[in-house]
């Protein structure tokens, strides 16, 4: 029975910038013993066809996420502020460029 250290290798989340001018976007995850290997593995796994010009790898345990269970209350402050949307304001149709 072999012990497999990759079980204990941390999980990294991978983000790729598709091209200049775009945000980095989450593409998946991988395990690696350290940051540098994570970056190399991410290059081999997620950018074999010029999918990116820049990669971020972030240890999954370093990410703080909002909880789906409290999603409604958490985002509630935005729910009743309809005046933040341009459609809230009625302007006559014949006023141009507005």
Partner 1 sequence: MTVSDETTRLATASTPDGAPTPERGPEEVFEATVAAEGRIEPRDWMPEGYRKTLVRQIAQHAHSEIIGMQPEGNWILRAPSLRRKAILLAKVQDEAGHGLYLYSATETLGVDRTELTEKLIDSRQKYSSIFNYPTLTFADIGVIGWLVDGAAICNQVPLCRSSYGPYARAMVRICKEESFHQRQGFELLMTLMAGTDAQRAMVQDAVDRWWWPSLMMFGPADGDSPNTQQSMAWRIKRHTNDELRQRFVDMTVPQAAALGVTLPDPALAWNDERQAHDFGEIDWAEFTAVVKGAGPCNAQRIAHRRAAHENGQWVRDAASAYAAKHADRSEEPAA
Q: Does 65 bind partner 1 (CB under 8 A)?
A: yes
Q: Does 2 bind partner 1 (CB under 8 A)?
A: yes
The C-alpha R_g of the chain, in whole angstroms, comes to 22
Of 11, 22, 53, 59, which lies in the binding site for partner 1, with binding defined by CB under 8 A? 11
Q: Is 68 helix (H, G, I), strand (E, B) or coil?
A: helix
Where do contacts with partner 1 occur on this chain (CB under 8 A)? 2, 4-9, 11, 27-34, 37, 44-45, 48-49, 65, 67-72, 75, 78-80, 82, 85, 87-88, 90
């Amino acid at each position: 029975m072999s012990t497999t250290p990759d079980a204990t290798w941390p999980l990294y989340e991978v983000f790729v910038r598709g091209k200049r001018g775009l945000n980095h976007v989450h593409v998946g995850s991988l395990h690696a013993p350290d940051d540098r290997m994570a970056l190399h593995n991410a290059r081999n796994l997620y950018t074999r066809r010029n999918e990116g010009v820049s990669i971020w790898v972030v240890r999954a345990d370093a990410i703080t996420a909002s909880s789906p269970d409290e999603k409604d209350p958490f985002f509630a402050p935005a729910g009743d502020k309809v005046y933040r949307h341009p459609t809230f304001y009625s302007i006559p149709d014949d006023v141009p460029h507005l």
